[in-house]
Structure 1
C-alpha cells in the first residue's frame, strides 16, 4: 500500500522568542514492512541545525527558531510504501540492548491499578496469545476517551481513571508487559483511517519482543496488530523518547500548538 502523508505543525507565541530549540522526530523509519519513497521537511521561522540518528535509531532533526519571531510553521510531506506483516517487525536492531526495554520508566511504572489488569495472567510459552489477551484487557479496563489526559499523564494515572487515548493505552500495555517480564517499547506514527483523510493528531501503539518473532506491534486502542495502514516514525522506552516534537524556548510566552494532518492511500502506477 502506498500512503501519502502531509503533517503541518504551527507554533504561535504571544511575545517574540529570544531563543528556542526544537527536536523533531518526524521522518518515518525505513524498516521491515515499510520503505520511504519520498519525504520532505520545510519550515518557516526556524532553520535546521543538524540531523542525526538517536539511540533508538530515530531520524532526529534539531532546529533553531529565528530570534524575534512569533510563529513557526513546519510541514512534512511524503510517500511511504507499506506491507501487512501482521505487526511483525522482526529482529532487534539499534544501539540499545533488549534488556533496556524490560525496565520501567516514570511513565510506565505500574501501581495497583495496572497490577490488577495483569492479575491472574500467568506466564505462558505462547507469549503472542498472552500479549493479545493483555491488549484486550487494557482496552476493556481503560476506555478510549479524548480530552481527559495529557502527554504528561502516566500509565498508572490513566489506568486508575479508567479512560485515555492511544498514548495512554500504549503506556499501560508497555508497563504491564514489562511487569510480566516482556520487553516492550512505544511507537509513534501515522494510521490511515478508512472514513477520513483529515486527522487531529498522529497515532501511537506498542511493540513487544517475542522470542523467535522479534518485535511485534499491538495497537491497543483499535484492538489489532498494525497492518499496511500504519506508518512507523519513532520508537522509544516511552512517549518522551518518541515524541514528534520536543523543545525549549526563552523569551516567548503563551505559546500554542496546532496540527493539521492528512493521511490517505495513493494509487501506485504500474
Structure 2
C-alpha cells in the first residue's frame, strides 16, 4: 500500500519567546515493511543542526528557531510504500540489546493492578501466543475513549480507570510484558484507518514485544491487531516520552498551546 502523510504541529505562545530548540524523530523507520518514496520535514523559520541515527535505529534531527517568536510550526509531508509483515520488524538495524527494554519507567511502572492483569493471562510456552494473549487482555481491560486521560497518565492509572487512548494501551501492554520478563517498548507512528475503514485523524502509538526466535513484533492493543500495511513506524523508546516524534524546549515565560493536524490516506495505485 502507498500512504500519503500530512502532519502539521503548531506551538503557539501568548508572549514572545527568546527561541526554541527541538529534537525530531519524524522519519519513517528503515525495515522490510516500509519504503520511503518521498519525505520532507521542515520547521518554519528554523535552522537544521544536523542529524544522526541512534542506537535504536531511529533517525534524529535537531532544529533551532531564533526569537523573538510567538509560534513554531513543524511540517511533515511524504509518501511511504508499506507491506504487511504481520507485525514483524524484519530487516531493522539497531544496536540496543532487547534486554535493555526490561527496565520500567514512571509511566510503565508495574503497580499491583498491572501485575495482576499480566499474571491473569494463562502461561504459554509459545511466547508469541503469550504476547498475543497479553495484548488481548489489555485491549479488553482498557476501553478506547479519547479525552479521559492525559499525556502524563500512567499505565496503572489508565487500567484502574478502565479507559484511555493508544498511549495508555501501549504503556499498559509494555508494563504487563515486562512483568513476565518479555522485553517491550513503545512505538510512535501513523495509522491510515481502523479495520472498519474509518480514517484515523491523529498520530498513533503501539507496543513492540521481543519474542525469542522471531525478534520484535508489534501489537496494537487499542485496535486488537498487529501493525500491517495501514501503519507507518517512526520511532521507539522505553515509553511515550522517549519515542516522542517531537521533543524540545522554548525559552521565555509565554504559555504554550499545542495544535496538531494529521492526515494519512492511501494513494490510488
Normalising to structure 1: TM-score of the pair?
Answer: 0.94
**Aligned equivalent of 1:227:** 228
Rounded Cα–Cα distance in structure 1 between residues aligned with 2:255 and 2:155: 28
Rounded Cα–Cα distance in structure 2 between residues aligned with 1:37 and 1:162: 40
**Aligned equivalent of 2:164:** 164
Asked if residue 242 in structure 1 is aligned to residue 236 in structure 2, the reply is no
Secondary structure of the equivalent of 2:129?
helix
Rounded Cα–Cα distance in structure 2 between residues aligned with 1:70 and 1:231: 31
Over 4 Å off, 4+ runs:
none
Counterpart mapping for 1:158-197 below 5 A:
158-193=158-193, 194-196=197-199
Change (3 A) 1:47 1:215: same
Q: Is the 8 A contact 1:3 1:81 kept in 2?
A: yes
Tell me the CA shift for residue 123 of structure 1.
3.7
Q: Is the 8 A contact 1:17 1:252 kept in 2?
A: yes
Counterpart mapping for 1:8-87 below 5 A:
8-87=8-87
Count of residue correspondences: 266
Q: Is the 8 A contact 1:45 1:71 kept in 2?
A: no
**Deviation readout 1:241-264 (Å, 9 max, x if unpaired):** 110111111114111111111100
Asked if residue 257 in structure 1 is aligned to residue 261 in structure 2, the reply is no
Tell me the CA shift for residue 202 of structure 1.
0.3
Rounded Cα–Cα distance in structure 2 between residues aligned with 1:257 and 1:229: 26
**Deviation readout 1:70-100 (Å, 9 max, x if unpaired):** 1111111111011111111137741211110
Tell me the CA shift for residue 265 of structure 1.
0.5
Q: Is the 8 A contact 2:30 2:92 kept in 1?
A: no
Secondary structure of the equivalent of 1:14?
strand
**Aligned equivalent of 1:89:** 89
Tell me the CA shift for residue 55 of structure 1.
2.8
Rounded Cα–Cα distance in structure 2 between residues aligned with 1:120 and 1:163: 19
Tell me the CA shift for residue 46 of structure 1.
2.3
Tell me the CA shift for residue 196 of structure 1.
2.8
Rounded Cα–Cα distance in structure 1 between residues aligned with 2:199 and 2:139: 23
Rounded Cα–Cα distance in structure 2 between residues aligned with 1:94 and 1:87: 17
Q: Which runs of 5+ in 1 are unaligned?
A: none
Rounded Cα–Cα distance in structure 2 between residues aligned with 1:101 and 1:28: 21
Q: Is the 8 A contact 1:186 1:237 kept in 2?
A: yes
Rounded Cα–Cα distance in structure 2 between residues aligned with 1:114 and 1:2: 38
Secondary structure of the equivalent of 2:206?
strand
Rounded Cα–Cα distance in structure 1 between residues aligned with 2:56 and 2:19: 27
RMSD: 1.5
Tell me the CA shift for residue 69 of structure 1.
1.1
